[in-house]
Every structure is written in C-alpha cells, then in structure tokens.
Structure 1
C-alpha cells in the first residue's frame, strides 16, 4: 500500500473540508495520539470543550487502521457522543479524507447483544406472558402486549434491529421479550435464525471496519469477562474516560434477589423435575423474608440467618444446574434456546451467591469485594456485590496488550492526572519525557490562578496555602492511597503512560465567573436552607432565567422548583416533568426559562448561547456518607494508612464539579456565571483541590459582583 500522508496533513485537510480553522490544542493532541500509536505508550489527554478532540483522535486512528489494515476501537460512555461520532463526525470525516487515502474509511457501531432484536426470541414472544408476569400490574402487561405486537411489525421493516432506531421506543419489559443477552444466546450455528441475526450482522460489519465505535460497558464485558465481542485491535481510544471506572464497576457488580431467583426457577421449570425448582423458589422466598427484616446498607459481616439464606439459594441453583447439564442435549432449536436461557439465569444466581459468601471469608482489611443490601419503596430488595477497586483488572486486561488513549474534557483533578490514573491501575506517569515534547503541552489543569482570577479575588484564599498547594497535596494523596488500595506491590508491572493537557480554546477567565457563596451557612441534611432559596431567587432574577440548576438530590431540585415558581416570573422546568431530552430541548428553545435537575443532568446538557448563562450548584457533590461502595473504598484506603477522604470522596466531588461547571461555556461566544452555593468550596482545606479541578474561571465571593454581571449579560442581546 502506498505511503499515507502524515496525521498533521490529514488533520489540516479534514479541518478545511469541514469548514473549520486549525486549533493548536487539537493539533498537539493529534500529534500526541500519533506518537502513542507509534511507541505503544499509553496516553492520558485532557482536551477542554471546544478543542475538537474527536477529530484529534479519529484522524490518527483512521490513518493507523488503513496503513496497517487493522481496526481501531473507540469507546464512549454516553449514547449522545456515540451518536455524534456515528451520525456526524465519522461520515463527514470519511468523506473529507477519502481523496487522500485512496478510499473512504469504513466505520461501524457495535453494541451489546441485548440492544438488538432477536428473531428467534421474537418468534416465541407471548405478549401476555412475560416471565415475571406476577410482578406487574395487569394494565402494564396489557401495554406490554401492544408494544410487543408493534415490535413484530417493526421486525419486518428494520434493517439493523437496533433498539435505538425504534421510534417511539418501548419499555424495558417489552424489549426483554424480544432480546437476549450474550450468555442467553444459543449462537448463530445452533439458531434457526442465525443467518438473519441482527447482532451477528453488526459484529460482521464491525470486523471489516477501520473504526468501530462501542461503549464502555461493551468494552468491559468483551475484555474483562472474556467474551471477545470486539474485533481484534491493537489501538483503543477511550473517550469520556472519566466514566470508565464507574462503568466497569457496574459491569463487575453482581446482584441477588427474589426476582432473579424466581426467573431462574421459572426457566428451569421447563427442563427439570418440579421438586428442584420448588426448592429454588422457596429459597428465594426465604431470602426475601430476611431482606424485609434487614436494614439497607453495607455488610461488614453477613448475619448468620442471611448467610444461610444465600447459601440455600446457591445450593438450590447448583442442583438445578447439575440436573440440566447432566441431561443429554437435544437438537431441537427451541429446546436448545430454553436450555441456554435457563443455564444463563441459574449461573447468574449461583455465581452471585457464591461471590457474596466468599467475599466475607478474608479478614476485613484483605477483602476485595463489598456487599450491601439495597431496598426502597420503588425498588425490589437486592444484595449487591462489587469490587473495591478495578485498577488491577484494568491493568491486567485492558492495558497489557494494546495501546490505549484515554481522553475527556475532565481528567486532571486537583491539577494532576494522578487520582484517575491510580483508579485505572496506571500508577505513576513516565518521567523520561523526550526534550522535544517539553513545553508542548499544558502540564496541569490548575495551578496558579491568572491575573484577575480566583486567587486575586479571594475565592482561592482559604488560609491553607491556596489552590496550588491543595491541588498538589490532594493529587499526591489521591494517587498514593488509591495505588495502595489497588495493589501495593505492583510498581514493577506498571504500564508506561504519559499525560497531556492541551487546554481549551475558550478564555475561561474572561468569559466566566466562578462565584462561591461564602456568606451562606454550610448545607444541611433537611432540604435547602431558606437562605439558599433566597440566593437562588436573587441569581435567577438577575439573569432573567437562562439558568441550569444542578442539585445534589431530586428532593432539593423539586423544592427549589416549587419555591421559585412562586417567586420569579420565569418558567421553571424540573427533571421528571417530562423526558430529560424534551426538557433540555425546551430549555434551549425558550431563552428565559430555567431547568432544575440532579446528577444525571450534569453531563447531559449541551446548550450554547443565551439560553444558558448561569449554572447553579447547590452543594459540593460528595458521595452520601451511607453510600456503601464509596464508604467501603474510602475505608480501604484509610486501612492502608492513606487519606481515604481525598482519594475517594474529594476525587469523586472534583470530577462531578468539573463536569457540572463545564456546562457553562459550550462555544467561544458564551458568557456567564457559575454559582456554587456551598461555602466549603472557599473555606475548607480541600477547597483548593476542588477549585483547581475546575475550568479556570475568574473567581469571586461577592454576591453583588455575580448579580451585576448577570444583569449586564441579560441586558446585552449579543452576549452568549
């Protein structure tokens, strides 16, 4: 194959073809990605909003794929970015690069099997009889019947079978009647519809593509659970990498409760004698009774009665598994499907029970899993078992035999990549940086404030050394303690990696103000203090609406919305009033409206222009003190002599704060104010670490300064 143009030439051609202009940060990032691919050294790169990071990694990825006749895998955390890549970025980029590459680059999207309609399952779907019929209201089941009927009709016209292409969508209950998970599938060879399988077709398309786009969960299932769902690849790009640990943890979390036990018993009932499935159902009922008598929360020691109930489920599931596996498999496709689905459900119940029981065997300090009971008025009680850390798993399964680029707008917490690198299992950054690279990148995301920035205005002066010192000590503490919590003896096997912050084309200090309401009392536990509601009302009135309110709980968001609707003459939208997508659309279209919501909004709102000129954060988003996983991880760090608060709680809060405050500036013309009502951001020792994790807005603690700026913006028809 003829020598391809270098990545810089391809990037310039792509930018010109797409009508853009060269951005220095984008070019620096593209060069760094190219170097990582060439050297095999992992790259962690923070690229602020407006950098154009998608092009910066896609261009080198495409060049590598085409020059080596291989596939590059790109994973994302959110459906929005996945759609942006597949529906906008890659089609335009492929067309732009085709003249220089002799052919148009090919790309594909690949999702988990559960996202595709299964023709075999559809054939047997009985709209009136979902597996867990007894758990649902009859009216809900009638709706499911109508939805499954529509799915039959849709199956005759869809080309992909991809659930995301079904509009309007259907409920999860209805979709479960026509889809299968990876471990429920009998395989294309055994399935009578194997040649028409939507999931198999998607995998075939991905196998021949230059770039395959998937999600973090699919990556975790494929790489860490050994399913080999992704095509062979030597280069992996993880976009939205700040979400990686949470997504991998979710995939690695097991659950045990009455509903999955009943489902397994019902599936096994078609294949084994009634006595075995009755025993399994009874064990599930016993588990549910003990759940009712137990307090929700983390277990450091499993009570004997509950341990006995879990063991009963384990043994009953094992008996059913043994009976099915000892029988002679029949060739009938329907029987093979029933057998596969029963084994999958039983394995899940059995393995979760085993894992829960085994997690309590080591001494508390040496445990690698945490177990807790979750229950509430709107959720079925379940025992959960999750890993205390996933860094060792990632280091072994993800970083061992491929080059990985991890990128996001938010990776440097407290001015350093160390906290997240430790959670990923990367350890400490390589220090032998070649001289040619020196000075080519912004070394940290924080550091000393620019003239007129937060340090001068007083927001960073908490009497503890300022943001720079807090960032340094907080970052070092986080990497040290997270490292120890993961594997204290791993230094010799650490993957080699480099960090790069290419900055942002936005002038945050001139475009945005970080206002910390230092005069307010610390947030309480009993809803929003009246002084907080007064502060919110004053800010919203000054901005004339145009406000995104990000609250730590749905209760606080609803309280603020109810109060503000009585006090200000602007429309207040609140999460839960309609679908999140529709609410964001209305907020963007109606310039003087406000949108209040909770954590799930923090990363899902992208509203450039005058509709968003004020972001309000009610409190620092630390994990709840009773969060079982976060508290266990924090304690594990402390047990090894580290600062669990900095390594876990402060890192978690810094990441969410950076994501939330990053909603303000979404284009170079945007202007506005970020108002954090929690005074601890200005007064607490950890405040410097948190502030240095945020975009470098100009800072103030004076409410009059913030309101005056909002008045000016509201009066200026050009601003934003």
Structure 2
C-alpha cells in the first residue's frame, strides 16, 4: 500500500505530484485522481501547495517560474540511494525502483507518488541498520528547511520535534572514511613484448567473458593485432613505437586495444594509460573493462580512473563549508545530500563519476564546484584530511593498477610539467579519440595573460584577502609551518607575497573600464582592452572580440615592459622559495617525517607548475611585443572574452602554431609505445580519384591523406616513422544510411529551420539528434518545436535549457526511444547511442571552423605547405561531419538518415561520408517523405 507523505510545516493537505510538459501539466493527488492543467493553472497551484516534482530546475523552467516551494523526488532518491545512477525523469526513477513504467503524462504523475512512497519505505526498512550519524544528518537537514525532512525523520523513527544536533553531527562524514597507507615504490617494468597472436587470443577471451556475448566484429581481431605493435620493447631512446590506428565505426576498438594493453600490463608489472578526450568515453571504457575484470573487487585494484584535481571533492573544502552550516542551517540541506554521497562514493569523483550529474543542478553547480580544488590551493600533507583524501588515494591506486583511464588534458599537463604526481611517467599510452589530440594539446600548451589568470595567481598566493566566504587559503598557509625554523624559506615567502600585491586585485574589471588601474599588469590589460575595442572588425559579438597584436598601440610596449618587471619581481622569490624547500629536503633528510616530505614535494610542484612556469610564459609573451617581427612558432593576439554580451575577461593569448610539436616532445618521445586511435584519423579530400577502399587488417602502405593524420597527431615530428593501420567498418553504410541535403530551407530564417526540424523529427517518429553551430539558434528552435513534438508524444530535450548536463541528456535520449535531443559539439563527438534511439541526425548549418585569428594563422601555414587556399577549412569540416555521421550507425542492425539543412554544403565535403552512401540534394518535403519511407522500410514505425 502506498505510504502517504507527512504534511510539510504549514501545509493543509498531502502534497500532490506535478508533472509538466511543454504545453500542459498533470496534477495527481493521493486519492488517485489526476487533473490536466494549463501552465497558468499549474503555476498558481504550485506556488501555494508545494507539490512533488521530478527535477525542480526543469519543472520550474517549463512553468516559467524562477522558484516555487516543492518536494523534488530526486533529492529523496539521492538520500535513500547515494552514489547510485538513475535518469532524472519519472520513468528513470520508476526503472531504478523496479516500478511499472508510465506511458502517459497522467501515469507519470501517479508514478511519481509511487516513487516517493517506495523510497520512504526503503528508508524505513533500513532504519535499524543506519548508523547514528544518519539520524543526526537527517535532523540537521530537517532543521535546515529540507522539504523531505519530516517524512525522512518519520521513516527513520525520529520525531520531527527532536532538537537539531549540535556542531557538525552528521555532516562530519570525513571522520568515517578509510585511511590509505603508502605502498612500497613500484618496481621497474619488464620489457616483454605482446605478440599479435597473443593480442588476438586475449581479445577472444574478453569477448567470451561477462554478461551478454559481444556483437561479432570480424575486423576487431585484426585491429588488436595491429595495435599490439606499440607494445614491443623500445630500441632507441626518443624513438617510441607509435601506431596510428584508424578503426571504422563498429570495429570495437575499445576491447581491441584493451586486449594487448592489459596483457602488456600483466606481463611487465606496470600500468598502461588510456587517455580520452571526453568524460563520456571514460565512462564507456570503464564499463567495457567489466569484461576484463568481472569481479568488482578485483577491478577496483586493477583499473583506476584518473582526472585532474578539480574533478574531485576536497574534504577540507567540505569541512569548511560544513562549519558555516552551523550558523546558516539552510546550507545543511545540500551538504547533507553530499555527505550521503561521500559515505558511499567509489572515488570522490564529482564530474562523470558516481555523483549523479542532476544532483549538481539541484544543489547548484557553482556551489558544488567550490568544493573541489579548482585553483591549485591544495595544502597536501599539511591538510588534516590528507590520509583520507580521494585524490591522493586515487594517485596511489594508479601506481599499482594495470589500466589507468585518464583524459588527454591530464596526461599532457602532467607530462609537460615533469611527470605525474610522483615524478613518474608511464611508458605506454593509448590515446583514444585521437582526432581530438590537436585541440587538447592546443589548450594544454597555450599561455593566457589575462585579468582572470593574473587575479587567480594573486588569489593562489595571497588567499582570500579578507573576503568573507572564500575558501582561498593562500601560499602562507601551505608554507608557514615549514618556514618557522628556516630563514631562507621565510625570507623568500615574505618577498613573494609582497610582490603578489602588484597583481590585479578584486574589481579589476571595473578599473580597466573606468581608467582607475592599479599597478603595471592592470595598466597593460587596460591598454590591451583599448586596442581590441578600437581595432576589432567583428560586429557586436556576445562571445568575445579580438585583434592582432601588431602594430601595437602607443604606450602598450612600455606598459608591457613595466609588467615584465612586476612579473620578474614575482619570479625571483618564487624560484628562491622552491630552491629553499628542496634544500630543506636534502639538509634534513634524516629528520623529516613522511608527511612533511610529501608536503614539501607538493608545495614545490605547485610553485613550479602554478607559478614559475606560468610567469616565465607570460614574460616571454610580453618581451615578444618589443619586436616588430612575430614569432614563427607562436600565434599571439589580444582579446576580450564575453558571456552573453557581458565582458568577463581581457588579455593577451599565445598558442603554438603547431601544438603537436610540444606534445611530441613532452609526451610521445619519452614514452616507449603509443597508440593513437580514432574512427577519423585520415581525411580524404577527393584529390586522388577514385577514393581508396579502406584496407582490411593492418595496412602500412600509403593511403589517402595519412599525412593529415600524422600532422594532427604529432607523428610527423618523430624520428622514426609511425606504423599506419586502417581497419574498415563492418557496416554496410550504402544500405543502412542515407544523406539528404535540403536545398529550399532558408538557413537564416529560424522559422524555416524550426519547421524543418519539427517535420523531420515527426517523420522519424522521434529518435532525432539536432546539431547546431550556435547556442542561440538551438534555443530558438527548441522554443518553437517543443510543444508540437510533445503533442505527438515525442519528448524534446536540449542542452543549455533546463539545467541538465550533456551526459545526462544523452543518457535520457538513449533510454527513451521516441525522444529527440538538440545539442552542440558536446553531443556530436564520442556519444554512443546504439539502436533506434538515434535514427536521424539533422545539422542546421555546415559546421565550418570559427574564423578567428588563430585559425587564420594555421590556415595560412597549411596553405604554405602547398595545399589549396581553403583546404584547411575543408579538412576540419569534413572531420566534424565524419564524427557526426559516425553517431548514426553503432550496430549491425542500425539504420539512419543524416540531413543537412544548409544548401551551401559543397560537393567537395561529401567525401566525409562513406563511399557508396546515397546522397541526395532535395527539397524539404521530399526529405521528410524520404526519411519516413526509409526508416519504415528499415523495420521500425516512423
């Protein structure tokens, strides 16, 4: 029998359940009656009756309200089942609780009541097994105003009138976390090779293990054999075995490279690092590794997910936030839900780990992210939570794992700054999503001298400087104890902190605009801003404007020289402080305990990476302004950054013209073996006609545009040539897909574009992914088509609308076969949606690269190598089209239609699509008809 909800304070009746669609709302009472309401009526009742909803931000957005009192079922789920995944929909909650899935909006409203009843029953059933801290936590949340507080306390058998516990009772979850212990240093890896037959054999074992048998993929074994060549012993220093492996969609490359990688790790006693570009693929790889280690306990010791510190919860930040909840009880609600998660999490990963992404939207993403170490403020062994720290535990687990699943940015940043956290380097890498290596390296090896960056450095050095509520701790807190009996450390620290006061301080944006600048860096930034505003040729741009550095405006070179002097006054004591810390390690080697040594090592690394290297890069940028000749290696420019028209930053930017050169030097050459793999490494421009047939198995012969693959992966900067391998997709694209270019939709008319999306999504009966080149166009189309689609029973989801992150939206899209999704780049790449949930892709415009100053420089360099004038733009656009098209068919029985609404798609870009795929330029009416007929003939209702 359904358990009713205790009335909230002041409520006159049991709260009803409210489900809101794009056009109507359903209101369900505990008596089983359901009313259909207009949005206006639902708004009026919601503000008075505090209903039960699912995902409050999305519900409020659909009602057109900023806020209203409500019980969010997701919060109750997060308390009852912490660190557990569910889709943030009523159907998702029902599926997680094994309840019947609703088939209508009215049924969803009734189901929502059944969901909360089931969750409260769960809490009551487990009440006798919960530790006392759970009761204290629930009381703290109740007294903080949690809408679910009275109901949860009743389920736990506690009277709601029970006084609030004192102090941090319940929130002090860090006290109950296990303490990690240091292991002995890892032994050097052996040098046993993985032979191709061994790789094939390991792959066969993986395919036979765990769960349902994997889908047969004829070329997967060939791929594993090719990749194994990167796992041979290196013959010369600086000459790793590099394999560029293009694997067509459907080959099954993840298990294909896991097979030789896991075998090498076991044979040689060292980890293989698998790096990806997106968190989505990190999660997919982690799931695939269940076949390697079906036992969860074994997997935990053998497989580790590594990310940057900014992804993990910092226990010290959490404790400080909990302390503030004593005087501000309302904060205990969000912190209480996080405390429940902390007690159950696998590794403390807040971004893409086991913290539900929707929980961040409910708590507040900015509030949540402040609990991570975003600005390098970790005090390492000086922290009382050091032995329980999630990051430190993960670092130590990674040293002894077989497989470490990281991301491109972490690998590049740590390699570029002298090694991993313990100054060690992996000897074997697999870079999945290899087509993103160029962009990842472009970000990792760039330098930005901006207001935000310089103010962040000041905050890192000086701390909060009296700002209430800030958790910025400053360098003095990290070093003070070490300086007490060391004059060299104390002196360098004092000098450094004094020099830091010349960096931009709070309200620097206002001073740049009104001319009341303080110090040389602010004066330089003000002149940069003035030059950008004067010289930018772009129309008013909501996302930023830029200009060339040369010729410099009057006074700017002098301001740059003054800024250099300021930065050098910072650099000298920073280097002296690091040297003094290293000397302490040497001089007091016999007296220092392990915790102190770790603390000194941590602070020394932070000084180098966060301060010295950044200062040296900025000084080099500024000195370059003294010359009239631009650097051949770098591209420099000035820019003002904006968010929706609001100015947020200004400064000088420096990127490598070819970022793969430092990537090759810092990452690839020190390694012994590297695999770079993707479905889109090569680019066929159509220059060599007819198109080459993709070879089956290992192909080391020259093929079309391998030069592009070598340029975009850094292989051309190596002494020894890379091994080239291409394995064809097993899919019959000519039969399974269609490409339609619509020629009569006005690309600049949002009404026409929206109508086209609407009719195509209806023709496919859902399962449509709409891709956009601009967020504003996405929002405009969503506003026009959400209601008519939902009137036909097709839910429409969208990025940048409703507060859900891209990964959650893709999860919902994958689970709901008739839903549609609108998105940008984040849902174009690396998203795996097999089956009928994705059967139509619609692009609003040709995804040309943004024509900014950096792109202009690279385009000119590409042309200087002998390529046609627009070849660089064409190459990047073909890669984007290939990646998008690759989302369409993920299994042998998938069928799909790719539609481009932009008639300006040049024929030379059509080589982005597999050979033999029918491509038609037709009108919208014919495209709608063709989509419907093709998908109907593929065996599904459309």
Q: Which has the larger radius of gyration?
A: 2
Aligned partner of 1:136 in structure 2 is: none
Distance 1:398 1:72 in 2: 14
Q: 1:406 aligns with which of 673, 676, 697?
A: 676
Length-normalised TM-score, structure 1: 0.76
Distance 2:265 2:371 in 1: 35
Aligned partner of 1:319 in structure 2 is: 569
Aligned partner of 1:92 in structure 2 is: 291
Task: Tell me which stretches of 4 or more aligned residues in structure 1 moved more than 6 Å.
Answer: 1-5, 102-105, 125-129, 141-146, 327-344, 415-418, 442-445
Aligned partner of 2:426 in structure 1 is: 233
Q: 1:261 aligns with which of 442, 450, 454?
A: 454
C-alpha distance after superposition, 1:308-331 (max 9, x if no partner): 445444433432454566678799
Q: 2:349 aligns with which of 137, 140, 162?
A: 162
Unaligned runs of 5+ residues in structure 2 are 1-189, 235-240, 463-475, 477-492, 505-517, 534-544, 585-591, 689-693
Q: 1:390 aligns with which of 659, 675, 684?
A: 659
C-alpha distance after superposition, 1:118-173 (max 9, x if no partner): 445656669879xxxxxxxxxxx999897668767766665633333334336665
Q: 1:44 aligns with which of 237, 241, 244?
A: 244
Distance 1:70 1:592, change over 3 A: closer
Aligned partner of 2:735 in structure 1 is: 510
Contact 1:517 1:677 in 2 (8 A): yes
Instruction: Please list, as runs of the form range in 1=range in 2, the aligned pairs for 1:238-637 lying within 5 A after superposition.
Output: 238-269=431-462, 272=494, 276-281=499-504, 282-283=518-519, 284-287=521-524, 289-290=526-527, 292-293=529-530, 294-295=532-533, 296-301=545-550, 302-322=552-572, 346-347=611-612, 350-360=615-625, 361=627, 363-364=629-630, 366-376=632-642, 377-378=645-646, 380-383=648-651, 384-400=653-669, 401-414=671-684, 440-441=697-698, 475=705, 493-518=718-743, 523=747, 527-528=748-749, 532-533=753-754, 535-565=756-786, 570=792, 571-578=795-802, 579=804, 580-603=806-829, 605-625=831-851, 627-637=852-862
Contact 1:13 1:96 in 2 (8 A): no
Whether 1:8 and 2:200 are equivalent positions in the alignment is yes
| Partner SS, residue 372 of structure 1 | strand
Distance 1:642 1:9, change over 3 A: closer
Aligned partner of 1:138 in structure 2 is: none
Distance 1:691 1:677, change over 3 A: farther
Contact 2:203 2:256 in 1 (8 A): yes
Once the two structures are TM-superposed, the CA of residue 58 in structure 1 deviates from its matched residue by: 0.6
Aligned partner of 1:70 in structure 2 is: 270
Paired positions, count: 644
C-alpha distance after superposition, 1:476-498 (max 9, x if no partner): 89579x69x999xx78x543223
Once the two structures are TM-superposed, the CA of residue 597 in structure 1 deviates from its matched residue by: 2.2
Contact 1:33 1:43 in 2 (8 A): yes
Instruction: Please list, as runs of the form range in 1=range in 2, the aligned pairs for 1:103-142 lying within 5 A after superposition.
Output: 106-119=302-315
Distance 1:396 1:231 in 2: 16
Once the two structures are TM-superposed, the CA of residue 245 in structure 1 deviates from its matched residue by: 1.1
Aligned partner of 2:588 in structure 1 is: none
Aligned partner of 2:63 in structure 1 is: none
Q: 1:675 aligns with which of 899, 906, 924?
A: 899
Relative contact order: is structure 1 or structure 2 higher (C-alpha 8 Å, sep ≥ 6)? Answer: 1
Whether 1:209 and 2:474 are equivalent positions in the alignment is no
Length-normalised TM-score, structure 2: 0.60
Contact 1:532 1:677 in 2 (8 A): yes
Q: CA RMSD in A?
A: 4.5
Distance 1:628 1:600, change over 3 A: farther
| Partner SS, residue 650 of structure 2 | strand
C-alpha distance after superposition, 1:485-526 (max 9, x if no partner): 999xx78x54322322212222111011011224567x5xxx
Aligned partner of 1:697 in structure 2 is: 917
Distance 1:375 1:142 in 2: 37
Contact 2:233 2:672 in 1 (8 A): no
Contact 1:257 1:382 in 2 (8 A): yes
Aligned partner of 2:888 in structure 1 is: 664
C-alpha distance after superposition, 1:245-294 (max 9, x if no partner): 11121112222333333343345446648974543332354355445533
Distance 1:128 1:249, change over 3 A: farther
